[in-house]
Each structure stands twice: as C-alpha cells, then as structure tokens.
Structure 1
Amino acid sequence: MTKTMRLLATASGLAVAALAATPAWADGTTAGLSITNTVTLNYKVGGVDQAAVTATDSFTVDRKVNLVVAEVGSSTTTVSPGQTSAVTAFTVTNSSNAALDFSLAATQLSGGTAAHGGTDNFNVSNVRIYADTNDNGSFDAGTDTLITYLDQVAADATKRVFVVVDVPLGRSTGDVAGVRLTATAAEANAAGSVGAAVTQTSGANTADMDTVFADSNTNGNTARDGIHFADDDYTVASASLVVTKSSRIVSDPLNGTTQPKMIPGAVVEYCVAVANAAGSATATNIAISDTLPTATTFVSAFGILVNGTVTGSTCNADGTAGGAHASGVVTATLSDIAAGVTRTALFRVTVN
C-alpha cells in the first residue's frame, strides 16, 4: 500500500469513528443533522514534504417519518348496555428520527369483522380521545386530558391515549362495536397547536432536509403515507331477564285448604319470579314494585319472602323474610341474579 493510500485509509477510519459516536434513534441519526467529512492528503516533491491538501464534504440527514398505532392488550372491552365512559387504550409511537405532532381521530367501523373476531353491529356514542396525562396506564376522569392531537412527540417516544365512549341502552349480549384510532404525522412547529400534515419530498434528493415516509402496511394500513391506525372493540354483556307473575289460591273461608275457590275472603299467594338466561351477564340491584289490586288486601301476617327458588314453574316458599308493604304497594329487593338463576318474591293477599 502506498503512503497516500495509507493516509486516505486513516482519514476514512476516523470519519467512521466519528459517525459511530453519534447518538442513534430507533430510525437512525437525528434528522437535520449536518454530517461533515474531511480528507487530508499529504505528499512530497523531490523528497520534500509539501503542504497538506484537504477536501471537505457535508450533507444533511433527511427525515424518516415512521409511526405505529397499537391497541393495548389483546382482548375486547366488555361493556354493559347504558354504560358511560367505557374505555379502550392505544399507544402511539414516534419511530421517526425527528420530533412530530400527531393529529388523532377516533372513528367507528360500519359492519364487518371487528378486531377480536365479532361482527360489528352497533355504534357507540359520545366518542372522545384522552391523553394519559399522569402516565399511569389507566383512564382517570378529571385528570386525563381531552385531546385531538399529540403535541411534539420526541423521536423514539411512545404516548398512551384512551378512546372513551358511551354505550346505548337496549343492546344484547354479544353485540359488538368496533372503534379505530388513526394518527397522522404533522409538523412539530410550535407547542400548543398541531402542525400541518407532513408531506413527503418528491423528486431527487435535495441539499436541505428531505422527508421520506416509512410507515408499514401492517393490520390493513397503507404503507408509506404518514398515517397509521389500529382497531379495538367493545362487546356487550347484558342480563336477559324474564319476569313471571303467577298466583295460586291457598284457602277460602268455606272450604279451607280443600279445593278452595276464589271467593271473598279467599287467600291468594302471588309469586314474582325473575329468571336470567344462560350466558348472560349477572343482573344486580334488582328492585320489585307491585301495586296490589284494589279488590285485595295484603296479608301482613304472612309477610314477604325474597330470594326464593322455583321447581319447574312452581314457586317454592323457601325465601327469607324481606321487602315491605305500604299504601297498597309491595316492594322487594332481590340479590344478584347470575346467568341461569331464578329468584322469587312471594306474598299473599285476601280477596275483599
């Protein structure tokens, strides 16, 4: 190897060492950085050292825009009919080599297969987006901030956001509502406001900082458009209650308990049976209100039995004392009713 070649090799090695010392982000060296490389040439004429000759080259690192929106967790969010502030969580990661804003949009699917395999068949309401302001990973009403964009997200940073919705009444177990969170790369110009959507540099490389989109087409996304989305869904778990009101004659003043008839003075037993269908969600806070017919009188000596059972279609007198009667109205509260369970309220009246 000649002396000149050795010198050039040394200069090249120094340049590589200098580049290796530059901090690296997930997608490489920070955009906008000017990288300068200088070569030094030493030589002799007639055996005498001459003044070294140098040459310098500089270029600007271009901006590689890459973002990833991902669902947090891998299962549907179970909700109840009429539930407010039901939450799904997403992360937005800036995998670019520059800070960016991200405009956000939460939209709903219109039919088809939802994220976790169910079929989207209804829409939620009051859809909004919140930032995880205190970074604790949970939605905190009154603390987390309502947003439409993420402001100045540093390269390599990940932000958690929540899509929060209300669920309409009247939905049945297994109903599914799919939601989508979409992030669009925007310029991080000034704090407190979202920048314009980033545009990709067209044509040949320029001397300035160019922009190249690098986002992927995973999960149905379009590759290299500066936009990325992820889906999640809400699945309804509802109680399916059937209420049955029945009566049976217990006795009458003439026949006693032997083949009694519904004559004045007869004692009639009412049963309110509440059944929850198999596969349903547990029903809670079950309150019964029964206004007695004006032609009857409540039998206070018998009282009210609650949380009884049924055998076939017949109510059993196996509940516990509870409930109340006032001004011709019987009220009772039943314990939680799980799927496949029936509970009853039992009381008696006389025919006036």
Structure 2
Amino acid sequence: MKRTSQLLGAVSAFALIGLSTPAMAEGTQAGQTITNTVTVNYNVGGVAQTAETASDTFTVDRRVNFTVVETGNGATSVSPGSSESYVTFEVTNLSNAALDFSLDVAQDGADDFNIRQPGTLNDGFQLYLDNPLAGTVGEFDAADTLITFLDEIPEDETVTVFVVGDIPGGTVTGNTANVTLTGTAAEAGTTGVLGADVVANTGDADDPNAVDTVFADTGNDGIESDTDTFVVSAAALTVSKTSRVISDPVSGVTNPKAIPGAVVEYCINVENGAGSATATGIQVTDVLVANLTFDNTFGVFVDATADVNNVCSGGTDSGTYTAGTRTVAGTLSDIAAGGSQAFYFRAIIDGDVTFTTP
C-alpha cells in the first residue's frame, strides 16, 4: 500500500481520528481507489499544535464470484417428439465487476436419449437469453435471443438462460436425459465479443496500484455449473374396436344376425395407461369398407362410455361422416392417466332388403 507520513514533535497528549473506514463490501467496484487519512491532534505545554496527518491509498481488487443454478427444483417433463423443449438456468454475477461468461452444455453418457438441435436430427442444443422486457418473462418464447455466451453482465445482475432442444420420437415414459450448463468467467470490456477466460492472481503479493483478481466462487476456479433433467412422460394409449348387431331385416331386434340389411354398431374405446401423460388432441377416423353403408339416421357419438362388454353409450353426437372418402371421424376430449373415452356409430350391411332401423 502507498503510505505518506509526517514526523511528529514532542507529544504530551494525542488522539488518533480515522476520517474514513475502508469499504471492503462485495459491492465496491474493482479498480476504485480508496484513500484513508488519519489525523493526530496534540498539545505541547497545554497549547494545541498543528495536526499531523498520514494517508494510505490502495486499489480495490476484483472478487470473481457467480452462480449457475437450475430453476424449478425438479425434473422437466417432456413428451416424445416434442420440439423446442427447454430447461431453465439462472446465472448471477456476484462479482464486483462486469463479466462475460462462456457457456457449455453437456449430457451424461448414461442418458436414455440424446437431445437434438431444434428442427434437426443432429444431437445438440441451442441457448437463449430470456428477454426481461418482452414476451413472457421466465418462459422460452419468440422474444428471447439466441446466444452462444453471456455478454457484459453487470455486477449483482441475474439473467435467465434457456437450454433448448427437441425430444426424439420413440422415447417412452421414464426415459431421462441430464443437461448440465457450465459457465466460465471471462473478461468483459467489448460488447458482442467473448473475452478471454479470467485468470486469478494466485500466489502473487497484492499490488496496491493494480487490480488483482481473486476467485471467490464455490470451486475457487471461475467455473460453475448445475444440472437439470428432461424426463419423458408419454401417453400410453390402447384402442379397442368391437361390433354388435343391433337389428336385422328378419328378426328385428330379437337375437339379430349379421345378414345383409342388418344394422351394426361399432364401439371404439380409447384408454390411457396409469401413470402416463394426459393425451390431448385425440382424433379418431374410421374408413368404412365395401359392403357397409353409413347409417346417417343414427349419428356419430364422441366422449362416450364403454362398459365391460364394450357396449358404448352416452356421449355427444358431434362426429362427422364424409361420403366421398367413406370416413367416420370425431375428436375426443383429453384423456388423463387411467382414463378413457369412447366413440361409436352404426352402419348397415349392404344387401337388397330395406329395413327401418330402430
């Protein structure tokens, strides 16, 4: 430290008065100079003498400290084949100077699947910086910025980084992929350019006229990381289709047989396995084969119930039939784990006999 002093004369009484106190808090900016001046007042023969002073000046060094933290405190649920799935991290610069941060993303070798770069079949990720002023803050959306590193992050500032990728199709419930984001402290100073990795002055004596660097992060190495996990939650749908004869032109509704002119009801039951993800956007299509004619006097029922004998009932007549393609279609409501929805309609076996269905 730089010191100045003046010789003191004979002292009968003196007082040491500190006019300023060193500010060593983390928030004191690196490079700032701190000068403390001490004043000694004294008397000689009961007469006050001119005070003597001494000063000390030094430069505040740089304390590099930051965190990389996964947010959410749990695994991130994804669906097979989902695009632009993401995990979220917060990077906080706790240093007393602005910093750049290089970013690296890696998966564990033991993962069940590899994340793919969005829109491609190549393994990898994309990084996005959350926009705190537009879009939905804290959620990945179109307002966020594609990045490769963090640029000019001021002291005491927290930014949100999204690691984004596509989930391969064919993954099943319970498959996992661990994603680790690693940040490395780098020199700031030029906007848009990643600086060199920060180097600590380890083992060097303090230079009072220069800014020395000390790593104060968890590993004391200027490198921090955290891990989040993609876990696949897939719907496990099973579909059953059964038919029953409703009536025939000979016996009516009494023990009817599947003869020409008979009315047949098809019941399609869709079930979702226990512990699975909710199935949404469920579209059912059934193309009538030759020798069947759609019974347009009955309708197409969705969100119905199938009993243990696969007999459908209830529901809403909101399905459609397209004659040109002979297609019966309808949309089922979402099916949660362990739930089911049914779909049913009727058709007539082609023949020469005309019979009015009940």
Tell me which interval the TM-score lies in, with the shorter structure as reference length: 0.7 to 0.9
In the alignment, the residues of structure 2 paired with residue 267 and residue 49 of structure 1 have an alpha-carbon distance, to the nearest angstrom, of 122
SS in 2 for 1:64: strand
SS in 1 for 2:16: helix
Aligned-residue offset at 1:283: 1.8
Aligned-residue offset at 1:226: 0.4
> Which residue, out of 197, 212, 220, partners 1:224?
220
Q: Does 1:10 align with 2:16?
A: yes
Equivalent runs, 1:1-352 vs 2, <5 Å: 4=11, 7=14, 10=16, 13-14=18-19, 17-19=20-22, 22=23, 25=25, 27=26, 29-37=28-36, 57-111=56-110, 120-126=111-117, 127-135=125-133, 137-139=137-139, 141-207=141-207, 208-216=210-218, 223-325=219-321, 326-327=323-324, 328-352=326-350
Aligned-residue offset at 1:38: 5.5
Aligned-residue offset at 1:256: 3.5
Aligned-residue offset at 1:321: 1.8
Aligned residues: 329
Contact 1:103 1:148 in 2 (8 A): yes
127-136 vs 291-300, which moves further: 127-136
Contact 1:101 1:150 in 2 (8 A): yes
In the alignment, the residues of structure 1 paired with residue 87 and residue 140 of structure 2 have an alpha-carbon distance, to the nearest angstrom, of 13
Contact 1:137 1:160 in 2 (8 A): no
Superposed CA RMSD: 3.2
Contact 2:10 2:44 in 1 (8 A): no
In the alignment, the residues of structure 2 paired with residue 258 and residue 202 of structure 1 have an alpha-carbon distance, to the nearest angstrom, of 95
Aligned-residue offset at 1:52: 8.4
132-141 vs 276-285, which moves further: 132-141
SS in 2 for 1:314: coil
Contact 2:88 2:160 in 1 (8 A): yes
Which residue of structure 1 aligns with residue 353 of structure 2?
none
Contact 2:312 2:343 in 1 (8 A): no
SS in 2 for 1:294: coil
Amino acid at match of 2:156: D
- TM-score when normalising by structure 1: 0.81
Contact 2:267 2:306 in 1 (8 A): no
Flag the structure with higher helix content: 1
Which residue of structure 2 aligns with residue 220 of structure 1?
none
38-47 vs 296-305, which moves further: 38-47
Amino acid at match of 1:121: D
* Identity percentage of aligned residues: 47
Q: 1:300 to 1:46 in 2, by over 3 A?
A: closer
167-176 vs 145-154, which moves further: 167-176
In the alignment, the residues of structure 1 paired with residue 37 and residue 81 of structure 2 have an alpha-carbon distance, to the nearest angstrom, of 69
In the alignment, the residues of structure 2 paired with residue 324 and residue 164 of structure 1 have an alpha-carbon distance, to the nearest angstrom, of 39
In the alignment, the residues of structure 1 paired with residue 273 and residue 42 of structure 2 have an alpha-carbon distance, to the nearest angstrom, of 94
Amino acid at match of 1:187: E
Structure 2 gaps of 5+ residues are 1-8, 118-124, 351-358
In the alignment, the residues of structure 1 paired with residue 49 and residue 13 of structure 2 have an alpha-carbon distance, to the nearest angstrom, of 17
Aligned-residue offset at 1:311: 1.4
Q: 1:302 to 1:5 in 2, by over 3 A?
A: farther
Note the alpha carbon deviations across 1:73-107, whole angstroms, 9 max, x for none: 32333333333233332221111222211112233
Q: 1:240 to 1:313 in 2, by over 3 A?
A: farther
In the alignment, the residues of structure 2 paired with residue 177 and residue 287 of structure 1 have an alpha-carbon distance, to the nearest angstrom, of 30
Structure 1 gaps of 5+ residues are 112-119, 217-222
Q: 1:197 to 1:295 in 2, by over 3 A?
A: same
